[in-house]
Structure 1
Amino acid sequence: MFSYYFKLAVRSFGRNKVLTALMVLAIALGIGASMTTLTVFKVLSGNPIPHKSEKLFYVQLDPGMREGYKAGEEPETQMTRFDAEELLRQKKAPRQAMMTGGGGIVDPRVDALKPFSIQMRYTSADFFPMFEPPFLYGQGWSAREDEGRGRVAVITKVLNEKLFKGENSVGKDVLVEGHALRIVGVLDEWAPKPKFYDITTDRYDGDEDVILPFSTFIDLKLDRNGNMNCFGREIVSDAQALNVPCAWIQYWVELESPGKAGDFKAYLDNYSEQQRAAGRFERPANTRLRDVMEWMEFSNVVPGDVRLQMWLAFGFLLVCLVNTIGLLLAKFLRRSGEIGVRRALGASRREIFKQCLVEAGTIGLAGGLLGLVFALLGLWAVRQRPASYAELAHLDGSMLLLTFVMAIVASLLAGALPAWRAMQVAPALQLKSQ
């Protein structure tokens, strides 16, 4: 019966072209707007490392001055070098990594290429097993290179293609700011968006080409970038020095399970009180320990205007559905005579209801096809915006499927009331009026 009702629906489109076109357009506009904003929201709010995001935690301490302190306020978003190195030395978590970002100039030492600028990440050895970037060749360095300020580096596939034409470059050198760094690993494609392990700077741009030990960065006095907050009472001459009260380092830990977070936070509280007793900290223990998704939520990775646009788009879809209900009601009731004849010939109310729903669903399918076009145009428009996340706005397979599911479900919901009214048509009255 479904195929028969589908043929009747297609035939009905030809009899009421303008009315059908209006319904298809209404659903398409609502679906197009909703899918555009929903796709952007999904891209920005997705879990970047779903299999272990509940075990990775971002650490915050509060080393600020006594002046201006308010109980319960948020501590510094980043950590001082002294605290980061001390926590790393104490090794209270199975894995932990301190890091910051920077930049420099690579000398390709090839006549065909001129020196060019790159982005870099300065971190510790556990960065690789914690965040699991895939390797094309080699591997990350060990804690021994951290402690020995080893002049080693991991480079990206893109840089490897540029410098070594894609060959296995492990064991070769890359010349950064005049310093030769021995390549120990080459990453495969890996560019998480947002860059969740460092969302204190640009969250969607600035993929790093070279990753090297934090200790080596300090030893070679390489350039760094990103936010820094100095809060001491004295003028700072070298903000990156060990004992300077400046927060500029991100610190992550990986715990065995989410249940271990309470114990590790207790350790952080105890560490803070120890530093306060030593005179370094002036405020009571005020620590935070957030997993990946909590940290992204706290950092407002999804801009407020994106959330607002999404809800407005769904509100627009609701308005389109209300209009579609009215149009379907008018269309079905105009066929009261036809419905009355079918009822008189033995069709049950249930069959009338099913026929009308199939027709509504067919309209939804057509609306979904047109809505997909509108969604693709909407996402293209988003990609033309100057926002750093704009280039990520693409429709993937799951969102493509959701477009048609939403269109059909929306049309079925819109068609339920008109179909119910249509099946209430009394055949006797219709036949008598004829």
Structure 2
Amino acid sequence: MFAYYFQLGLRSLRRNPLLTALMVMAIGFGVAASMITYSVFRATSNNPIPQKSDQLYAVQIANWKPEDLDHGEPPSAINYTDAIAFMQAHKAKRQTALYPIAPSVIPADASRLPIEENSYAWYGDAFAMFDVPFLYGGPWTQAQDDARAAVVVIGKKLNDKLFNGANSVGRTINIDGHDYRITGVIDEWDPQPLFFDPVNTGGFGDPIGLFIPFTRAVDLQMPSAGNNNCNDTPGPGWDNWLHSECIWIEYWAELPTTADAQAYKRWLTGYAAEQQRAGRFKWAPNVRLRNVTEWLDFNKVVPPESKISLLVSLGFLLICLVNTIGLLLAKFMRRAPEIGVRRALGASRREIYTQFLMEAGTVGLTGGALGLLLTGLGVLGVGWVFDEQIARLATLDVKLVVLTLVVAVLATLLAAFYPTWRAAQVQPAWQLKSN
């Protein structure tokens, strides 16, 4: 019977082409608007590392006086003194200090221009902490961190540029005039949002193509390519800045259990209390631990315009559904004589419900096909509204295709309940008498 009712639905589409076109357009445009904005919202609010997001914690400590803080919250970054103290204490399963750098890779071919890569300085623990996949080789060791070794891990894209995709582990590249030995090549890895450094990136940026040891970068006096905030002007020179209260380093700790996180926070509070007793801090300990999702929320990574756009588009979809209700009601009630004859011949109200809901589902499926086409076009044009780094994340994948069709059909079926109920209430006697 469902196949029969589906055929009736297709015939009904052809019977009133203008009315049908209006309904299909209303559903198509409403669904497309909501799916385009949802694709952006989905990308920006995505959990970038779901398997470990509750085990990785951003560490904050207030090394500035309370009046310099924003609503009493510790700064989002820490200074070099605290970063080194945390690393040496080794109170977490894994930990890393990190900051963005801007080196240039100098190709062996002198005719080629230097290559600038999105780069970070961090500790070797970070690769395992953040589940970074390797195509060749692996991360450098803790001993190499301690020795400030000239080692590097590069991304697949840079490896393709320099070595045509071959296994380059053990080979040497020139970075800012210094030779570095490659220990590993990262496979495709582009977590979005960029959870470990939303402070400097806003949460979105190009894939990272180069990593060197934090200790090596500091030894070579590589400045931060990100934020550098100071509440007091440090003295001249690298060492004065390094040991000032200027904040420029992100710090992450891997704490597998809630008990580990609680113990780490107690230790962190104790560390701040020690700094207070030593006279460095003249205020009570003020520390925070936030996991990945809490950190992204704290830094307001999801653009407010994506939330607003999603709400507006859902409102537009609701308006389209209200219009569809009116059009379906007009369409169904024009067939009152047909319904009366069917009821007189023995059709039950349940069968009327089934038939007309199937017809509405056919309209929804057709509107979904139109909405899918419009969604594809809209995703291509997202860059006109949102930042380029965000727009590139909005994609029309299989999940979005299925969701578009499902939303179109379900929305139309919901809109059809009242018109179908009215159609099922048609009295056969009145229709037969009037005709």
Q: TM-score, normalised by structure 2?
A: 0.96
Please state if 1:406 is matched with 2:407.
Answer: yes
SS across alignment from 2:183: strand
SS across alignment from 1:288: strand
1:57 CA drift (Å): 0.7
1:383 CA drift (Å): 2.8
1:133 CA drift (Å): 1.1
Distance 1:312 1:239 in 2: 52
SS across alignment from 2:301: coil
Paired position in structure 1 for 2:361: 361
Paired position in structure 1 for 2:214: 214
Paired position in structure 1 for 2:200: 201
Code of the residue aligned with 1:392 in structure 2: it is L
Q: Which moved more, 1:351-360 or 1:280-289?
A: 280-289
Paired position in structure 1 for 2:73: 74
Distance 2:162 2:5 in 1: 64
Distance 1:68 1:52 in 2: 33
Distance 2:292 2:225 in 1: 22
1:241 CA drift (Å): 4.1
**What count of residue pairs does the alignment treat as equivalent?**
433
CA contact (8 A) 1:81 1:247 kept: yes
CA contact (8 A) 1:56 1:255 kept: yes
Paired position in structure 1 for 2:134: 135
CA contact (8 A) 1:383 1:393 kept: no
Task: Give runs of aligned pairs for residues 116-127 of structure 1, distance below 5 A.
Answer: 116-127=115-126
CA contact (8 A) 1:27 1:368 kept: yes
Q: Which moved more, 1:267-276 or 1:54-63?
A: 267-276
SS across alignment from 1:180: strand
SS across alignment from 2:198: coil
SS across alignment from 2:63: coil
Distance 1:68 1:86 in 2: 23
Distance 1:419 1:48 in 2: 44
Paired position in structure 1 for 2:42: 42
1:154 CA drift (Å): 0.4
Distance 1:215 1:308 in 2: 43
Please state if 1:64 is matched with 2:64.
Answer: yes
CA contact (8 A) 1:65 1:232 kept: no
Paired position in structure 1 for 2:257: 257
Q: How big is the alpha-carbon RMSD for the aligned residues of Structure 1 and Structure 2?
A: 1.6
Code of the residue aligned with 2:109 in structure 1: it is V
Q: Which moved more, 1:198-207 or 1:61-70?
A: 61-70
1:163 CA drift (Å): 1.1
Distance 1:300 1:66 in 2: 22
The 1:192/1:68 distance shift into structure 2, 3 A limit, reads closer
Paired position in structure 2 for 1:267: 267
1:167 CA drift (Å): 1.4
Paired position in structure 2 for 1:191: 190
1:261 CA drift (Å): 2.0
Code of the residue aligned with 2:399 in structure 1: it is S
SS across alignment from 1:38: helix
Paired position in structure 2 for 1:280: 280
1:147 CA drift (Å): 0.8
Task: Give runs of aligned pairs for residues 96-175 of structure 1, distance below 5 A.
Answer: 96-175=95-174
1:283 CA drift (Å): 2.5
Q: TM-score, normalised by structure 1?
A: 0.96
Query: Gaps spanning 5+ residues in structure 2: where?
Result: none
Deviations 1:354-392 (A, max 9, x none): 111001110000000000111112111113456121111
Paired position in structure 1 for 2:87: 88
Paired position in structure 1 for 2:416: 415
SS across alignment from 1:174: strand
The 1:102/1:240 distance shift into structure 2, 3 A limit, reads farther
Query: Gaps spanning 5+ residues in structure 1: where?
Result: none
